[in-house]
Amino acid sequence: MELTFRLDPEDEITGKASDDYPVKLATNSCSIGGVPDDAHPDLFALAAWTIVAPWTRKRITFDRAISPELAQAIHDGWGIEAGPVGVESRPAGSTLAISYSGGADSVAAATMYPEAPFLHFRRVDHPRIPNRWTHYRSDVLAELATKTGRELTTVTSDLEFTLAEPRPGYPEHHAVAAGALLLADRLNLGALGFGYELGSRWLGGDRYVGHYTPDNPMWAPHGAWGTLFAVAGVHIVLPVGGVSEAVTMRLALQSDLKDKVRWCLRGTDGPCRTCGKCLYKELIQAAVERRPLNTPLTAQSKPAQKWLEQPPYGGQEMVEYGLARIPGIERTLFAKALDYFEATEESTSWLDHCYPPAIDEIPAQWRDQAAAFITANVGFMTEAEIHRVETWGL
């Protein structure tokens, strides 16, 4: 499937994603492979919207009629006039699939729904934009996904190359689902599960605001994107939205997919151990396994620098969790960060449990399975622990 778009006079090539992160347009076309061409028009429109939303200022005209409900949801969420309007909306399907990246959060989400099929997004080169990130091994991740034993559909796309900055990245986080949306009719999808965890959904982590965000515009079911996906009959579900990365790490490493877990995009036969993401995940894994930090990086290494500056920063709750639990942390590159925190096991124990509203917001037909899994494998937060979430960063 080819997507080509033209800007209107009022549109701009520097825009903002829903989390206010600035993104800059590089080119106006991309393609998505491995998808049928007969999806409901709302699915085409939503897939396109995940790619072009940041640059749209007043209106968007799709190449086919969409439902009035979808147009209304775009208007309500973004203040954008969308059309033409002229078809009935898509009824929701009954299958929940997992948007599977192979990282620990994604594997943990998959573990919660052992029968769920996987949809994997694989980056491929763009015909007109040079790939300066060949060390990001999307082929390795795709290969690992085939070895999970799950029903798997791999979608290929160069849509990330529509961005000049930041690269590589998605215009909106939701663009990773563009191919899944186009497959939704074929797979009878009613929901798509993402591996976003407590920090991303509720604590304003990643490239976001750093405080408690019940109305998170990207991931709350009642937020702009949650509403829009639901109108297209594909609910956004965050199976692990109530648990921290310590819990997703533990669940992933205990699961039967543990040998397929790969959060690093660089290594070919294992994580590279030297990138920023590997360092962050090693901090979490060492804390979960209660062993000394094992990294070749030092306080002088480039990936270490952001953790040595003053907080706050994304993933701060997990830094506190790690500082409180890793034996000998004061003799590692994180020694400086100890100056900023007084984290203890007790003060960070809320990160071992599940925030109940995260399960409550899963649509009814998939909720009980998630709740039973949490009860059996994690446990819910106490009132005091819930309070820690709801006052985070405030």
CB of 372 to Zn ion, least distance (A): 34
CB atoms < 10 A from the CB of 130, how many?
9
| Burial track 341-369 (b if 16+ CB lie within 10 A, e otherwise) | eebeeeebbbbbbbbbbbbebbeeebeeb
Stretch that binds Zn ion, among 19-27, 81-89, 129-137, 272-280 (CB under 5 A): 272-280
278 binds Zn ion (CB under 5 A): yes
d(CA 290, CA 342): 18
Q: Count the site residues for Zn ion by CB under 5 A.
A: 6
Stretch that binds Zn ion, among 45-53, 132-140, 269-277, 316-324 (CB under 5 A): 269-277
Out of 224, 243, 275, 329, name the contact with Zn ion by CB under 5 A: 275
261 binds Zn ion (CB under 5 A): no
Pairing of strands 81-85, 95-99: unpaired
Q: Closest CB to Zn ion among 51 and 264? A: 264
Out of 48, 129, 264, 286, name the contact with Zn ion by CB under 5 A: 264
Pairing of strands 81-85, 118-123: unpaired
How many helices and strands (H and E) does the chain possess?
A: 13, 12
Q: Closest CB to Zn ion among 137 and 173? A: 137
Q: Closest CB to Zn ion among 135 and 258? A: 135
CB of 272 to Zn ion, least distance (A): 4
At position 291, the amino acid (one-letter code) is: R
272 binds Zn ion (CB under 5 A): yes
Q: Closest CB to Zn ion among 133 and 341? A: 133
197 touches 57 (CB < 8 A):
no
d(CA 227, CA 299): 44
One character per residue 212-251, x = contact with Zn ion (rule: CB under 5 A): ----------------------------------------
**Residues in touch with Zn ion (CB under 5 A):** 264, 266, 271-272, 275, 278
